[in-house]
Amino acid sequence: MTAAVRVASGPDVVKGAIRASRRRQRIRLLTRVLILVSFLGIWEIVGRSTSRLFLVPFSESLLATFDPDLLRAWGTSLQAFVIGYGLACILGVAVGLLMGRFRLAEWSLNPYLTILLTAPMVALIPVFIIIFGFTLAARAAIVFSFSFVYVAINAFAGSKAVPRELVEMSDSFGLTEWQRFRWIVVRSAAPLIMTGLRLGFGRATIGMLLSEMLLLAVGIGGRLIESSNRFDMAGVLGIVLMLLAFSWIGGSAIEAADHRINRWQRRRR
Amino acid sequence: MITVDGLSKWFVREGGRDGVSVLHVLDNIDLTIKDHEFVCIIGPSGCGKTTMLKMIDGLVPVEGDAIRVDDVPVHGPGPDRAMVFQNFALLPWRDAISNVELPLEARRVPPAERADRAREALRLVGLNKFERHLPHELSGGMQQRVGLARALATQPRHLLMDEPFGALDEQTRRILQDDLIRVWEQLRQTVVFVTHSMDEAVYLADRVVIMSPRPGRIAEIVPIDLERPRDDLTRRSPRFIQLVEHVWERLRELNVVDAVEVAG
């Protein structure tokens, strides 16, 4: 955000405005850090002064994450995540753009995507287990089914967001279908595609955890259930911390890519 | 040469009482535009002037051979014509020079030649220092200069301009009019220029085509006998003012029905 600079009496006013803007930015950052620190502080204090069965302090939860077994569990989980979410990204974008390009694809697929968007995907978990057994394929399929629709529907919306005048321009200058698709449709759709990837990431994480917690008892979700059954509060909270970090890292990475690709759009604001 | 011969156009849309609604847009238009001529088309909103321009470009389908460009019936866009759009139609993620290069890229012009031609076109419109700017970093007038440069870079024989300065403020508009004339006097394409500004039409054109309200017919063709090169003195000359008044009179006559409707 930029400060509203009202140049009334020369550079001094401008300098003052810049300083004020920087100060506001510092205050914002400081407040954020303060909220985090006080939250962790309260957690620490309450944890130390209550029963270990109720709450374990932050420091102990953090220590519980230093466990090589947990790393292996993450490895198992991430295999399913990478395959499932990766396929959802590729196929979701492809299906969404295809629906944007072909009316027949739009008319035939759109109602189903809309249903799937609100359908409780959890109900599908047993189905996948029956089909694939207790395998990596089953978990990847669950991750995929949780995230695919979000990616596809946003890619579709994005490909519909091409301004009419650009389509007309591309016709006038004799661009081929394929040129228009590469140079105009994909670029216009990019901001919404990135939104879809972000929403899909969160959904894929849920899918990964649920598949492991509900039925398969492997990976990081399996460890979460295990720790909980042993009343190992530090273990549970440690995994929660790691999951938060995972979402945060993934989300930030997608956001950074979004800013990079769609620079032209961000700077307009 | 652009020949429009007995051109009529109906738009049929789904919806309405009988399942379809029919809009009669253009009615039996005859118009011949010579090479190197600058023709402005003016008329009330909805008279079909933009539709006619898009038909000449090939964006709107033409039945039969009612429109011929250099004796070839128009059935789609072609490299001999280039359009400048009212809302600029630039790709917001491409900088000025890449926007100008777009049609050349589509035609598979080699990169080096492409860049040269784009640079040359940007120089013609006075934007050589803004090659690397994204559209949103440019003012409206500069954006339309990019739009003009993009059309010029394709080296068209005929330049089709659809209310190109309609979205600009009066000061910018005048500067761009002068720059357009300057470029045109160097390159001498045929220009078909749609506008709703009477001053603009008279200032730019060799002939002003006045169209009637829908269905669009040609009401009158006014030859503009003002000397070239034209400048601010032209705008102040009695003949200029007389011609603008004449166009206004004709347009007002044509709009009589409209005025009565408003009064009633």
Residue B168, CA atoms < 13 Å, CB-side half-sphere: 25
Tokens at B165, concatenated? 């300065």
Cβ atoms within 10 Å, residue B134: 20
Q: Does the beta-carbon distance from A169 to B83 stay under 8 Å?
A: yes
Chain A residues whose beta carbon lies within 8 Å of the beta carbon of residue B89: 165-166, 168-169
Report whether A150 contacts A196 (CB < 8 A): yes
Q: Does the beta-carbon distance from A264 to B136 stay under 8 Å?
A: yes
Phi, psi of A17 (to 5 degrees): -65, -40
Phi, psi of B181 (to 5 degrees): -60, -45
User: For A214-249, what is each residue's pLDDT tens digit?
Assistant: 877 888 999 999 998 988 888 899 999 999 999 999
Tokens at A53, concatenated? 């069965």
Q: What is the pLDDT of residue A1?
A: 41
Q: Does the beta-carbon distance from A174 to B77 stay under 8 Å?
A: yes
Q: Does the beta-carbon distance from B92 to A172 stay under 8 Å?
A: no
Q: What is the pLDDT of residue B16?
A: 64
Report whether B163 contacts B132 (CB < 8 A): no
Residue of B nearest to A176 (CA): B106
User: For B8-65, what is each residue's pLDDT tens digit?
Assistant: 899 888 776 677 888 888 999 999 999 999 999 999 888 889 999 999 999 999 988 9
Size of the A and B interface in Cβ pairs below 8 Å: 57
Chain B residues whose beta carbon lies within 8 Å of the beta carbon of residue A187: 91, 93
Chain A residues whose beta carbon lies within 8 Å of the beta carbon of residue B136: 264, 267-268
Report whether B30 contacts B69 (CB < 8 A): no
Report whether B39 contacts B191 (CB < 8 A): yes
User: For B117-150, what is each residue's pLDDT tens digit?
Assistant: 999 999 999 998 999 999 999 999 999 999 999 9
The reply to whether A174 touches chain B by the CB within 8 Å rule is yes
3-class secondary-structure state, position A4: coil
Distance, in angstroms, between A177 CA and closest chain B CA? Answer: 11
Chain B, 91-150: which have a CB under 8 Å from a chain A CB?
91-93, 102-103, 105-107, 134, 136, 150
ipTM value greater than 0.95 = no
Chain A residues whose beta carbon lies within 8 Å of the beta carbon of residue B91: 166, 183-184, 187
pLDDT exceeds cutoff 90 at B79: yes
Report whether B218 contacts B29 (CB < 8 A): yes
The reply to whether B200 touches chain A by the CB within 8 Å rule is no
pLDDT exceeds cutoff 60 at B201: yes
Nearest to A175 among B79, B106, B150 (CB): B106
Chain B residues whose beta carbon lies within 8 Å of the beta carbon of residue A171: 59, 77
Q: What is the pLDDT of residue A265?
A: 77
Chain B residues whose beta carbon lies within 8 Å of the beta carbon of residue A166: 89, 91
The reply to whether B87 touches chain A by the CB within 8 Å rule is yes
B238 upstream amide cis, omega within 30 of 0: no
Q: What is the pLDDT of residue A9?
A: 59
Report whether B116 contacts A246 (CB < 8 A): no
pTM of the predicted model as reported, rounded to 2 decimal places: 0.82
Chain B residues whose beta carbon lies within 8 Å of the beta carbon of residue A172: 57-59, 77, 82-83
Distance, in angstroms, between B94 CA and closest chain A CA? Answer: 8
DSSP sequence for A65-97: T--HHHHHHHHHHHHHHHHHHHHHHHHHHHHHH
Q: Does the beta-carbon distance from A173 to B93 stay under 8 Å?
A: no
Q: Work out the average pLDDT over B233-255.
A: 92
The reply to whether B83 touches chain A by the CB within 8 Å rule is yes
Q: What is the pLDDT of residue B67?
A: 93
Nearest to B57 among A172, A184, A268 (CB): A172
Report whether A238 contacts A61 (CB < 8 A): yes
Show the DSSP H helices in chain A as ranges.
11-49, 58-64, 68-101, 103-118, 125-132, 136-160, 164-172, 177-180, 186-211, 219-229, 233-261, 263-266
Show the DSSP H helices in chain B as ranges.
49-57, 96-106, 111-124, 140-153, 170-187, 198-204, 232-236, 238-254, 256-263
Phi, psi of B25 (to 5 degrees): -95, -50
Q: What is the pLDDT of residue B256?
A: 58
3-class secondary-structure state, position B68: strand
Q: Collect the ranges in chain A with pLDDT lower than 50.
A: 1-3, 5, 7, 268-269
User: For A168-211, what is each residue's pLDDT tens digit?
Assistant: 999 999 999 999 999 999 999 999 999 999 999 999 999 999 98
Bridge partners (DSSP) listed for residue B158: B81, B190
Chain A residues whose beta carbon lies within 8 Å of the beta carbon of residue B83: 169, 172-173
